Structure 1
């Protein structure tokens, strides 16, 4: 797609989110009313607010981040190309602060870019909103105030696949399938993350799933640019 992309300047990422509390009844009365109003259009008459609450994690106002996984290339133009992956998980405030510090220390130059699948509609604004809610200063890469569209340092693999067709949504699972990339969805789906978090209390399973998505995003961008895919032996957890 672009011969100008320097893969070593890109931080690939994915986030996993869940409802802010396990059950609808755990919310304050005010928050229950606000959720009822917020989801009225999506629910119609098919679901009660309580039944629909399992989807609350998709909204930053009613959800929280339980994992951010990031990946980056080193030695990209050599035979020793490596893709390094790491994850932030635990308390949401700690996740957000650690991610912010990573951006401020290592991805704060004009040439640095963030990349995610559907990142412009979900990951990037979700992280920024949760930072504001948790009173955490936004890093420059997420502070878009006053920036022109071409000044925003974000790549979105779903947007790239649209080729200008704004009505088109293509999931990460579908794209990896048709492009011959190992599927990241071989364990759990996004809709199951909440149950794995609250019922199973298995954050390590969620982290593994999140890291696979991050690797898949990098693989997509490689395929879009006719670059060789990453071999499992060249993926390192740090």
Structure 2
């Protein structure tokens, strides 16, 4: 089935998220109480709710998206190209721009979104943040009433599981075992909050996000037993 897919019909993507506010102290009292309750199981007795707030970005109710990077294949004149573009900065604006990309270039039923652990994280996170901003969901994220085989999403983690639902493999581990250059050469996800809030280096985070998108595309190529992308085939769109 994977071999039958037209690579030009797939939009590969990754998101980067951070806590909605820089510090726990910026939450109002109601949100503090809700965070205390939400994080209780994960932090147990090891951390206070305030200490644990640095990890709030993984929950869409307490975090926000600061970057969405996307990539797609193009085959012209016998040459293969992989185009990268990113949306960054103010969340509502980047979500609006990402929606425009989907609706203009990937609106067809055969168009697919692809991410690593996308079905558990990226796709629902984007959809929830859109609804929080009172935005209309694009068709690719509006799954209500769809049958499983109608959902236009590919997930490289799910593909690697081969039906083993107990098995989680990070993108870093998967690229390593498949012989794909690691996307984590500069930073990893645990560092994004500090790089954003403490260092103010959003462009550095964007580059990291784009490397993840390339890695996801490389995984698909590897699973199809095709040649990996070379640096000369990858172009960033301004």
Report the TM-score when normalising by structure 2.
0.98
What CA deviation, in whole Å up to 9, does each residue of 1:25-73 have, x standing for no partner?
A: 1111110100000011111111100110011000000000000000000
Give the superposition deviation at 1:159: 0.4
Q: Any idea what SS the aligned residue of 1:75 has?
A: strand
Give the superposition deviation at 1:105: 1.1
Give the superposition deviation at 1:79: 3.9
Provide the residue aligned with 1:106 in structure 2: 105
Provide the residue aligned with 1:133 in structure 2: 132
Give the superposition deviation at 1:117: 0.2
Matches within 5 A, 1:133-212: 133-212=132-211
- Counterpart check, 1:96 vs 2:95: yes
Give the superposition deviation at 1:106: 1.0
Q: Any idea what SS the aligned residue of 1:145 has?
A: coil
Provide the residue aligned with 1:41 in structure 2: 41
What CA deviation, in whole Å up to 9, does each residue of 1:167-218 have, x standing for no partner?
A: 1000000011111111000001101000000000000000000000000000
- Counterpart check, 1:57 vs 2:95: no
* Aligned mates of 1:50, 1:2 — CA distance in 2: 45
Unaligned runs of 5+ in 1: none
* Aligned mates of 1:178, 1:8 — CA distance in 2: 26
What CA deviation, in whole Å up to 9, does each residue of 1:116-137 have, x standing for no partner?
A: 0000000000000000001110
Give the superposition deviation at 1:5: 1.1
Provide the residue aligned with 2:13 in structure 1: 13
Provide the residue aligned with 1:23 in structure 2: 23
* Aligned mates of 1:116, 1:90 — CA distance in 2: 21
- Counterpart check, 1:116 vs 2:115: yes
Provide the residue aligned with 1:235 in structure 2: 234
* Aligned mates of 1:83, 1:237 — CA distance in 2: 9
* Aligned mates of 1:211, 1:167 — CA distance in 2: 28
* Aligned mates of 1:164, 1:185 — CA distance in 2: 27
What CA deviation, in whole Å up to 9, does each residue of 1:56-112 have, x standing for no partner?
A: 000000000000000000007x64100000000010011100001111111110110
* Aligned mates of 2:54, 2:68 — CA distance in 1: 20
- Counterpart check, 1:69 vs 2:69: yes
Question: How many positions carry a matched residue from both structures?
Answer: 237
What CA deviation, in whole Å up to 9, does each residue of 1:209-236 have, x standing for no partner?
A: 0000000000000000101100000100
Q: Any idea what SS the aligned residue of 1:201 has?
A: coil
Give the superposition deviation at 1:4: 1.0
Report the TM-score when normalising by structure 1.
0.98
Indicate the RMSD between aligned Cα atoms, in angstroms: 0.9
